[in-house]
Amino acid sequence: MAGLIVERRSAVCLLTIDRDHARNALDAATSRLMDQAISDAEADPKVGAVIVTGTGNRAFCSGMDLKEAEQIGAGHGLIPGRGFGGITERRRSKPLIAAINGTAVAGGFEIMMACDMVFAAEHALMGLSEVKRGLFAFAGGIQRLATQVPRATALAMIMTGELLPARRLYELGVVTEVVPGDALLNRALEVTQAMLVNSWQAINNGRELYELSTGMNTGQALAVGNAWGKATLASADSREGIAAYTAKRDAQFGQG
């Protein structure tokens, strides 16, 4: 598919934005392709997680294609109900991991912030440059900065449009790990595939409980956790995990 490469690496769906000539900016067509690819992965019981990255080493994604926007108007890469690239507003049931191979700016930074884990190349720069184009990052970038980054740093990013290096975002807890650029994809795949050895049901329940808990007080979050926990304690995966530990063998979870 022009603009997007879709691959399977075992139980991982790998999406590579393939518009290096445009610093991997998303035109409307590529945004729709990403949306469909993630929907397909969500529906496929053999897919446990999705990794999104970009072609080359210059840019992960530089946001919307401004040349296209000049011709047809801004905002055509926004998918109703699911946001930029079909990612920034989407409700997902499976982990989404970013492998940031270069600059992640504007909508590209918003995609990154919507991911569950972020692996970044040492040379990567990240931030919200919309203010330099008379815009602001309303599709999730500002909202997620507000919950993940200290106020003074977040507002400086929003109001100046200046980019921060990957190492600084790691220090702030936004990036999971910073690695050499030539090791980036292998490291993201290694961690993702190691994650998927665990119970997929437990992974997704834990991820969903975390997301719900960010909008609840502790008492509410504990009540939800306890309600879900009763089902977890009685699940086949729980029985298998405990039995495997007792027998000193690897667990064989019923994935998918």
Examine residue 256 and state whether it is found in any structural domain, yes or no: no
Co-location of 191 and 214 in the same domain = no
Give all strands of the β-sheet with 103-105 in edge-to-edge order.
59-61, 103-105, 125-127, 164-165
Co-location of 165 and 112 in the same domain = yes
Examine residue 154 and state whether it is found in any structural domain, yes or no: yes
Q: What pLDDT score was predicted for residue 125? A: 97
Tell me how far apart the alpha carbons of residues 221 and 207 are, in angstroms, rounded to a whole number.
13
Co-location of 174 and 95 in the same domain = yes
Confidence of residue 254 (pLDDT cuts 50, 70, 90): confident
Co-location of 143 and 25 in the same domain = yes
Confidence of residue 256 (pLDDT cuts 50, 70, 90): low
Co-location of 241 and 119 in the same domain = no
Co-location of 175 and 243 in the same domain = no
Q: What pLDDT score was predicted for residue 216? A: 87
Between 167 and 73, the higher pLDDT residue:
167
Q: Which of 195, 215, 231 is the last residue of a domain?
A: 195
Residues known to be catalytic: 110, 130
Examine residue 137 and state whether it is found in any structural domain, yes or no: yes
Q: What is the pLDDT of residues 205-222, one digit of tens each?
A: 999 999 889 888 899 999
Q: What pLDDT score was predicted for residue 2? A: 84
Co-location of 165 and 240 in the same domain = no
Residues contacting residue 246 through CB under 8 Å, at least 6 positions apart? none
Confidence check: pLDDT of 138 > 80: no
Task: State the burial class of residue 35 (Cβ atoms within 10 Å of its Cβ: 0-12, 13-18, 19+).
Answer: buried
The number of distinct structural domains making up the chain is 2
Confidence check: pLDDT of 121 > 90: yes
Co-location of 190 and 243 in the same domain = no
Examine residue 161 and state whether it is found in any structural domain, yes or no: yes
Q: Which of 195, 211, 229 is the last residue of a domain?
A: 195
Q: What pLDDT score was predicted for residue 82? A: 94
Co-location of 149 and 63 in the same domain = yes
Which regions of the chain does DSSP assign to beta strands (E)?
4-9, 12-17, 49-54, 59-61, 78-79, 83-84, 96-100, 103-105, 117-121, 125-127, 164-165, 177-179
Co-location of 204 and 178 in the same domain = no
Q: Which of 152, 167, 195 is the last residue of a domain?
A: 195
Question: What share of the chain has pLDDT > 70, as a percent?
Answer: 99
Co-location of 92 and 112 in the same domain = yes
Co-location of 152 and 109 in the same domain = yes
Confidence check: pLDDT of 195 > 70: yes
Q: What pLDDT score was predicted for residue 25? A: 94
Structural domain harbouring 211: 200-247
Q: What pLDDT score was predicted for residue 61? A: 97
Q: The domain spanning residue 148 has which CATH number?
A: 3.90.226.10
Q: What is the pLDDT of residues 20-49, one digit of tens each?
A: 999 999 999 999 999 999 999 999 999 999
pTM of the entire predicted model: 0.92
Q: What pLDDT score was predicted for residue 232? A: 84
Q: At what angle do helices 151-160 and 141-148 cross, to 10 degrees?
A: 160
Q: What pLDDT score was predicted for residue 155? A: 93
Q: What pLDDT score was predicted for residue 132? A: 82
202 is written with which tokens? 């437990």
Confidence of residue 230 (pLDDT cuts 50, 70, 90): confident
Q: What pLDDT score was predicted for residue 1? A: 60
